[in-house]
Amino acid sequence: MRPSILRRLLRRVASTAVLGLVAATLSTVGATQPAAAAGGLQQVTGFGTNPGNLQMYEYAPADLPAGAPLVIALHGCTQTANDYYTNSGWPKYADLWKFAVVFPQTTSANNSLSCFGWFDPAEDTRGKGEAASIVQMVEHAKQQYGSDGRRVYVTGLSAGGGMTADLLAAYPDVFAGGSVASGLPAQCATSQAAASGCQTGPQKLTPAQWGAKVRAGFPGYTGPWPRVAIWQGTSDYTVYPANATALRDQWTDVWGIGQTPSSTDTLPGNTTRSVYNDASGKPAVETYSVSGMGHGLAVSPGSGTDRCGSTAAYFLNSICSSYYTGVFWGLDQGTPGGENPLPAPSGLTVTGVTGTSAALSWSAVTGASSYAVYRNGTEVGRPTSTAFTDTGLSAGTAYRYTVAAVDGSGAAGTVSAAVTATTTGGTGGGACYTATNYAQVAAGRAHTTGGYVYANGSEQNMGLYNVFVTHTLRESPAGYFVIADTGCTA
């Protein structure tokens, strides 16, 4: 028997502890091959020698111009290319900003949980296995669509995130940027036995030691290095937040910059963004810490430009990570006004509410002719002043607002941080409930997955399913619950 075949057989029967990247929690989820989505996701065969035994799926807008960017999007364990296509939000931005997306897929033929082999040097290093197959997909797509080889990016969730980091290390000459969501630092594990240890607590290495693992991926390479976004939920107990810290240390060291952020700001979904600039002042590494989010890809369903995706297993409602990642990479610069978009207005504040209205104000932006106001991602007004009152609202309901400056051509700039306005009165929402996790589930305000409790609607992780953990949940709107332990006013 050939060694490569033997190795794959061994991997199939190995312990599912390989990747707790969903192992215990997805026992009911299948790892079947997806059918091509009608008019959307399409399978490609014959893209190369395919040493990693992967499948290639792709999506591209019908009017894709030559010289457009290319994004590679890697699913997590037990997921499929179609899951990622359907829920991640990337097709929306492919249509909006004009680029092609390739969705590689591994299957149970490679790994019993359909995980990419981020822990296997035979799969995740330069010229080997799955990594080589993915790069062959890149080359095929570049030929097919005339994609700009200087603007090829890779992103992935969980095991796909671990493989993303490995690809950036092994092929910095191929990828201009990457985004690791709930994933692992490059070359954190080099054996299946070491994989679980990385997930719960990667080695305590110095930034230089982490950076050395990247530099060893393509010896002699001197740059430029990929620009890296790192997404992590603070309540992720599958791939622990320590991995995000290790990723930050790893890639800031590769860039030769410190671990103190150049700036920090707050984004929607209780997300804190920390930016690490290169020597020219341009962001090289960005971390996005999503407070209370568990293990998964951050999405935020809605019609606004900064809203995307749909909620499903391991697609969690908080913030559209695909939007912010695309902006970080500069994918939005192909849109009208995108090359020099107006900055986001600062100081967005709720100045008053009634039972049917919410009043807002913000600071002026130089060059703005008007402002676009978004309620829950949908534009509701374009005032020329820096104040707006939204009317016709429901009583006792929470609404999320953002605002963007609009230039003379009508193009909206960068969207501001969000604020929440809760109208007064009403009986259909706003109530507060303090109870044990067990009682919250029994009352229908939360649900369990893999031994943990998640609030209905917000999907915030509330901890273990037992009577020893107590939380306060606030309901607004009806059926949508958020953790409100620090204070809850009905």
Token representation of residue 371: 């402002």
Other beta carbons within 10 angstroms of residue 2's beta carbon come to 7
What's the Cα-to-Cα distance from 187 to each of 4, 183, 190, 264, 347, rounded to whole Å?
21, 12, 6, 28, 42
What's the Cα-to-Cα distance from 282 to each of 97, 172, 248, 251, 286, rounded to whole Å?
21, 18, 16, 15, 11
Closest CA to 354 of 389, 303, 309: 389
Residues paired with residue 71 on neighbouring β-strands, in sequence order: 101, 153
Closest CA to 313 of 477, 464, 88, 474: 88
158 is catalytic: yes
Rounded Cα distance, 32 and 34, in Å: 6
Rounded Cα distance, 418 and 421, in Å: 10
φ/ψ region of 53 (left if φ > 0, alpha if ψ in -120 to 50, else beta) reads left
Of these residues, 114, 147, 158, 322, which one is catalytic? 158
Rounded Cα distance, 248 and 245, in Å: 5
Token representation of residue 229: 């976004």
Token representation of residue 458: 């917000």
| Chain Cα centroid distance, residue 421 | 26
Beta pairing class for 419-422 and 152-157 = unpaired
Rounded Cα distance, 33 and 474, in Å: 40
Token representation of residue 360: 């807002």
Helix (H) or strand (E) holding 382: none
- DSSP symbol at 366: T
Q: What angle do CA 87, 329, 65 make, to 5 degrees?
A: 80
Return the axis-axis angle of helices 129-145 and 159-170, rounded to nearest 10°. 80
Q: Cβ contacts of residue 63 below 8 Å, gap of 6+?
A: 98
Q: Among all residues, which ones are annotated catalytic? A: 158
